[in-house]
Amino acid sequence: MSAPAGPRGNMYRCPVCGAEILVVARAHGAFEPHCCNVPMLLKRYRARFFVCPVCGSEIAALKSPSVTFMPRCCNAGMLPAA
């Protein structure tokens, strides 16, 4: 059963070994992540992306960042990515 990768930030986990992956950029085609010869499971939470307003660098917060999480790049506060 093929499924699209969905929005970037979707995280998948292997139910056997616990390996995790993150969708960084979506492309065309079916996305069926497998590990340990079994399908990986979509996790309930997604990574949050931040972008530098100066140089365009992006980062992903893999766990839900706290209110005090304020990433910086190029001496500027990074903005939540759309």
Q: Are residues 35 and 2 in the same domain?
A: yes
DSSP 47: P
CA-based angle 66:42:46, to the nearest 5? 25
Q: Are residues 42 and 52 in the same domain?
A: no
Report the number of distinct structural domains present in the chain: 2
Q: Which domain holds residue 66?
A: 48-80
More confident residue, 24 or 76: 76
Q: Could you tell me if 36 and 53 lie in one domain?
A: no
pLDDT in tens, 17-71: 999 999 888 777 778 899 999 999 999 888 889 999 999 999 999 887 677 888 9
pLDDT at 50: 93
Examine the domain organization and report whether 9 and 34 are in the same domain: yes
Q: How many angstroms separate the CA atoms of 24 and 26, rounded? A: 7
pLDDT value at residue 6 = 65
pTM greater than 0.85: no
Rg (alpha carbons) of the chain, rounded to whole number: 15
* Cα(78)–Cα(38) distance, integer angstroms: 37
> Tokens representing 76?
């500027």
